[in-house]
Structure 1
Amino acid sequence: MINITMVYSGLFADLTSLTELSLKGNIQNKFKPTVIKDDVFSELKSLETLKIDGPANVTFGKGFQNITMLQKLDLSGITGNCSFQRISHNMFLNMPKLTYVDVSACDILDIEEGAFGKLQYLEHLDVSHNKQLGFASLPNITHNLNKTSIRVLRGNGINCLSGIGTKILKRHFENLKHTNISEIYFEKNRLEQLEPGAFRLLPNTITSISFGENKLTQGRYILDYFFLQNIRVYNISVQLRPPPFPESIFEQCAEKTDVLHENKQYFDNEDIQEKEGNKYESMMNDFIGSKWNEHHVTFYIPKTLEVLYANMSRLYGTVPEFGINATGAREIYAQDNFLYSWDGPVHGMENIKIMDLSNNFCSHISKSFLKYARGLTTLRMSKNDIGKSLSSDMEGEIFKNTVSMKVLDLSYNNIVDLSAPMFKNLERLQTLNLQNNQLSTWRVKVDHMKSIQFINLKQNRLTTFGKEAQMSLTKLFQITNLSIDLSGNQFLCSCDSVHFLEWITGYRNRVVHFNRYECSSTSSHKFNFSDADNSLKLLKKNCKSYLVIYIVTSVAVAIMFSIIFGIFLLKNKWKIRYVIYRFKQRFKTYTGHSIIPQADSPSYEYDIMISYSAKELSFVLTDVIPRLENEAGFQLYIKDRDEPAGISCGEAIMEAIQKSKRVVCLVTKSFLKSTWQDYELNMSRMEAIEDRENLNFVHLIIFPDVCNGSISIQTLDLVRQECFSEYPEEECAFDDFWETLISHIKELNRH
């Protein structure tokens, strides 16, 4: 450390060519008055830039007049020690060639009127972070600046950290009206409003205005934007950031405020507002121009405005359909707001190149929102919730007109799926960021993007890539320098994904962080991406042996199930046939075509259906009909006599069974060999089981020629033993047989 009070004459005598000198941090007690020995510094004839501490009551004596080349003076307390509280009107009198003055963070309480107005060549003035100056000091600071060459004025943080919102009045800008100033900065000033008309006091040379990190609310002053004819950059960003804690609570700060004079009133009052009401009504018509069409309005803003910083600016609501007339606008930064629905379309966006809408809590984007964004090259929409809107866009209409797009950021948007033609018109796209979404499949067509360089699919839910996706990316790998980031996805490592693992291993040099990839916990095989070649060989070998086992097992299982199914069908064939018939019958009933009485009907057309083979017809005519119909009075169904014409044999049999109270089968050898009698017997049995719920419904008369054969045993297994009787061989026993049979049937009918 050099004690600035100990410097002596001749110290800098040999430094005749020195152009820049920094003595920052060489005052031990910044609150103790320290003399700046101007005669010592006068030896620096070529000095152009002086960076020095600003002690209390600092002065720059006549010796500084000899430093004719001095242009930049840095007294900032940010980079050194600065504690003087007052700038007198003659403080810089001996430095007339200064073009750059930085007195930021010096605890200045007061600046005399015209203190900087004597610096004819002054271009850059920084009075930032002197928190007690307040906007009320601006008239003194800017007094006579029209006699300087002022270009840049910085007044950041010239109000206390905490307190109610501040306001810029017309009187604060009054002295700037006739200057050639081009940039003004009033950030971190709790600025909430501007007096209407204040902007109109700024000269036409203004190209950049920065009101960042304030608390601006919308007001009538925005109509004055129309008068900023040459503005290029307008910054109203970071309007939500609170003052630092705990400094804002414990700081001892009392900023200077405007006072009321007897003959002049500098604050808005009701009278002034009433007088200017008509004027601002007219300005509203100019600012909100003629309608683009009958559904929305067009906002006219300065044609020279190129960049708008509106991030963290407390913008709230939807983005409706409207128009902007800003032919010079190129960049719009509106991230970190609350624009929760992007409806649009926004007309007049053709010249916008860069737009940032990230972190706006947006949950909806319409398909026409970007309809007029043909010139857009960079679009950032990260950290929103537009995944559902994108997933529902099956034809790629949202980005249909953004044909100039080069950078598209859709990260952190809860995107579950994207349609194949989503980016069909983005042929110039270079960077696509879909990081941290929920994509489980990738079917987006990208092979038309001949300029693509990077696709970020990090932290999604991808497990594999389909063949079409692999082919699409392969084409791009061959003609572009495309690299793709798939880290954070849990890939499925199994025999089904061998083709994918082989593909990604083959293009590992295009895959970012390939060696760090991992298989999902549900994978059936292990795969070491850091040793992909050997892992792939081992996987193919294992899958080949598994394939043989799989084929053999599949064939064996198929045969086994076929056998079981065949046995089931064979065992239940009559039940299946009966169920099918009943289903057809019910279907006909529902459609109004059924002519068959239902089984649960209280009466039947026939008492007994006689089932017999053609060879037993004579027996039926000579014995059965006389005995059961003529003598016993039963109404018999005899197929050769009663079968209706015009229907199939199977349907006729089922009708007869359902119309009869009982079925009596004349079981002879010819009966057992007949297919139709087999059908009658088994369908009668199924009727007994499924509908009548009584096996007595079927009665077998076993004739002597089959009584001792093996076939008769199989037949008897179809019904219970008490449901059959044997026809006698002796003629003397015939009468007893028929009497017993008739009695048995009548007994059954009574129950």
Structure 2
Amino acid sequence: MDLPFNFKFGGGFKTLQNLQNLDVSGITGYCDVKYLSQNFFNNIHYLKRIDLSNCKIFKVDEGPFIILRHLENLDISHNEELGFVSLPNVTYGLKETSIRTFRADAIRCLIGIGTELTVSHIANLRQTKLIELSFAHNRIELIGKGVFPNMPKSLERLSFALNRLTTGIYLFEFHTLHNLKELNMTFLLKQPKYFSFIFEKCNENKELKSQESMSARNSKPYFEFRRSSNITVYMPPKLETFNANSSKLYGRIPKLRISANNLKNLYAQNNLLFSWNQPLFGFERLERVDLSNNFCSSISPAFTASGKRLKYMSLARNMLARSIQLDFRCQIFKNQLQLEVLDLSSNKLSHLPDCIFQSLAKLKVLKLNHNQLSDVNFRIKHMINLFSIDFSDNRITTFSVQTMDSLSYIFSRTKVSIRLLNNKLHCTCKNLDFLKWMLRNKDYFLHVERYFCSDVNTRFDFNEFEQSLHRLRIDCLDLQIWITISSIIITFVVCFFVAQVIRTNIWYIRYFLYKHKRKNACDIARKDGAEISGLVLKSDGIDEFSYDSAEGNSCIMLSTFTA
């Protein structure tokens, strides 16, 4: 429904008692309210859901929604000129309604200095039964002291996304939100599109008395941390989900203790948390954690020790290769016995310790894509619950016999999908066994037709896997025959050549043997005191000869050498 300037809901709307939803958003249509008077909704009392987003509202009287007893959802987002100064008038009387969801996203100009959300802005919400509250995209840099304690006790979901939050005393007041289950503080790094908005006219309502830097002007800090301090953060006792992705978190994660007995989901991706070495306490119930894209280069077993109930862990797009590859004792994932999804993609891993995943028997999804792996050299046979393994965009050329046996064992027990896209597979005779095995288990490999060989000159085409493998087998068989024939010929030639050499040099060989035998015999004779004095040669037919020695102690070496 479009809402032009100075539009009024006349008396005829009183008959529309079934009208419960009013969507006049300028995002999906045309809306130019400008002024929201106190009696704006006097003739439509039965509304449950109102969307006034992007309606160019500039001025609001006190309590325009007070008569809407059935109101449950209210959205005044993207009215940039309202400012926080209008919140008391907008929220006045909401405690008389059935309000459950209130969205006030981007009600301040996109360009400007950081602002502070104070107790005076949200005081009228304290007595409501709100479940969901959002102040996203409002240039909030600081949340004043006492804001959280003055929020509705029934609040379950709270969002400060797309703001500029810095650290402050409000961090130690989270625990006052007793029923909060989801806290969204994402995209604190994202900046507005300045070149699109810098020249747009935006006259935001200003505070009569500025309180935007009240907390910042405190001369004495509430807390002072030392390097050796053990930090304890008290969170809402029912908090289940904490979103802090893209939130300007920077540095080493310190030794940290949190009081959040029900925290199950933690999202802190796209930050600059570059070292994860300190132990964490209070995360024992955590089931999902995302720390991807944090430029982290160091992780220790102490950091992961408390995540015993984790089912989902994403450590993608970091630089954890050194820490993981040097974990020879395989302690980093030792305690993740319940883990079902592990994402280690884009970590520059070139190899992994054999036992790195030894505790992950319940793992279902393993992502190792976009690394530098050349082989699958780790144990996976025990992971019989796997249904997805991603090895795409690595340097894998083949699988070892042990890996093929392990995967065959898994294939016999579950329907697992393997991604091997963009690897350097060898389509050669040496890799024939692996290619045969892959063809037998082709159904387990996704997008096989898009695989390619590392040798661009090969005729192997995975679009015609079976035919290509058949051609390769024939080529390899022909090669084996030629190798066998060549080996026989070479052996024969070598033997013939050796025989000819022996035949031609038979006398030299006999003389060499004689010299060797004579030397040994004379050595024995000398030991007995005899002296070598002659050599006797005989011809065929002469078997006897005599020699008279004038000296009784002379020694003759007699050798029968047939000419």
TM-score tier, shorter chain, comes to: 0.7 to 0.9
- The residue that corresponds to 1:231 in the other structure is 180
Q: Are residue 304 (structure 1) and residue 238 (structure 2) matched?
A: yes
Alignment of 1:293-692 (within 5 A): 296-521=230-455, 526-551=459-484
> Alpha carbons of 1:548 and 1:296: their partners in 2 closer, same or farther (altered >3 Å)?
farther
The CA deviation at 1:366 is: 1.3
CA distance in 1, matches of 2:26, 2:281: 48
| Distance in structure 2 (CA, Å) of the matches to 1:533 and 1:130 | 63
| Equivalent position of 1:94 in the other structure | 43
**8 Å contact kept, 2:175–2:237:** no
Q: Which has the higher contact order (CA 8 A, sep 6+)?
A: 2
Does residue 140 of structure 2 align to residue 191 of structure 1?
Answer: yes
One-letter code aligned to 1:298: T
1:339 match: secondary structure = strand
Contact 1:362 1:386 in 2 (8 A): yes
Match for 2:55 among 106, 109, 120? 106
Letter in 1 for 2:196: E
Q: How far has the Cα of 1:268 moved from its partner?
A: 5.8
SS in 1 for 2:412: helix
| Amino acid in the other structure paired with 2:385 | S
Match of 2:538 in 1: none
Task: Write the mapping of 1:70-149 to structure 2, written as runs, cut at 5 A.
Answer: 70-149=19-98
For 1:560-610, what per-residue CA distance to the aligned partner results, in whole angstroms no more than 9, with x for missing partners? 99999xx9xxxxxxxxxxxxxxxxxxxxxxxxxxxxxxxxxxxxxxxxxxx
SS at match of 2:12: helix
Structure 2: how far apart are the matches of 1:412 and 1:272? 44
Amino acid in structure 1 at the alignment position of 2:111: S
Report the AA paired with residue 465 of structure 1: F
Counterparts in 2 of 1:269 and 1:168: CA distance versus 1, 3 Å: closer
Q: In the alignment, is the contact (CA less than 8 A) between 1:103 and 1:127 conserved in 2?
A: yes
CA distance in structure 2 between the aligned counterparts of 1:560 and 1:215, rounded to whole angstroms: 85
1:689-744 CA deviation, whole Å, 9 max, x = no partner? xxxxxxxxxxxxxxxxxxxxxxxxxxxxxxxxxxxxxxxxxxxxxxxxxxxxxxxx
Q: Is the counterpart of residue 173 in structure 1 residue 122 in structure 2? A: yes
Task: Give the counterpart letter for 2:129 in structure 1.
Answer: N
2:111 is aligned, of 162, 187, 201, to 162
The answer to which of 551-560 and 141-150 deviates more is 551-560
Uncovered stretches (5+) of structure 2, i.e. residues with no partner: 502-520, 536-563
* TM-score (structure 2 length as normaliser): 0.84
> Using the alignment, how far apart are the partners of 2:123 and 2:215 within structure 1?
22
Q: Once superposed, which parts of structure 1, at least 4 consecutive aligned residues long, lie more than 3 Å away?
A: 265-274, 294-298, 548-564, 667-670
Residues paired across the two proteins, number: 513
Higher alpha-carbon deviation: 294-303 or 92-101: 294-303
Displacement of 1:476 in angstroms is 0.7
Structure 2: distance between partners of 1:70 and 1:80? 19
- Please give the secondary structure, in 1, of the residue aligned with 2:120: helix
1:155–1:185 Cα contact (<8 Å) kept = yes
In structure 2, do the counterparts of structure 1 residues 410 and 559 end up closer, same or farther at CA, with 3 Å as the change threshold? farther
Q: Deviations over 1:628-686 (max 9, x none)?
A: xxxxxxxxxxx99xxxxxxxxxxxxxxxxxxxxxxxxxx9977xxxxxxxxxxxxxxxx
* 1:375, distance to aligned residue in structure 2 (A): 0.7
Q: What is the CA–CA distance in structure 2 between the aligned matches of 1:244 and 1:387, rounded to whole Å?
A: 36
Compare CA radii of gyration and give the structure with the larger one.
1
Amino acid at match of 2:480: L
Q: Is the 8 A contact 1:374 1:403 kept in 2?
A: yes
Instruction: Tell me the amino acid that sits aligned with residue 345 of structure 2.
Output: S
Shift of 1:295: 7.9
2:4 is matched with which residue?
55
Instruction: For residue 418 of structure 1, report the CA deviation from its aligned partner.
Output: 1.2
Q: What is the rounded CA distance, in whole Å, between the counterparts of 1:519 and 1:74 in structure 2? A: 57
Q: Name the counterpart of 1:5.
A: none
CA 1:295–1:143 in 2, change beyond 3 Å: closer, same or farther?
closer
Q: State the secondary structure of the residue aligned to 1:125.
A: strand
Give, in angstroms, the shift of residue 151 of structure 1: 1.3
SS at match of 1:364: coil
Residue of structure 2 in register with 1:743 after alignment:
none
Q: How far off is 1:258 after superposition?
A: 0.8
- Structure 1: give runs of 5+ residues left out of the alignment: 1-51, 289-293, 568-612, 616-638, 641-666, 671-751
Residue 549 to residue 407, structure 1, CA distance change in 2 (3 Å): same
Task: Give the conservation status (yes or no) of the 8 Å contact 1:367–1:393.
Answer: no
Counterpart contact for 2:10–2:43, Cα < 8 Å: yes
Q: Secondary structure at the match of 1:439?
A: coil
Say whether the 8 Å CA contact 1:391–1:419 is kept in structure 2.
Answer: yes
Which residue identity is paired with 1:450?
I
Aligned CA distance change for structure 1 residues 270 and 396 (closer, same or farther; 3 Å)? closer
AA at the equivalent of 1:474: S
For 1:81 and 1:167, the matched residues in 2 are separated by: 31
Alignment of 1:21-32 (within 5 A): none
Report percent identity of matched pairs: 36
Does the C-alpha gap of structure 1 residues 526 and 270 become closer, same or farther in structure 2, counting only changes over 3 Å?
Answer: closer
Task: Measure, in 2, the Cα distance between the counterparts of 1:90 and 1:204.
Answer: 30
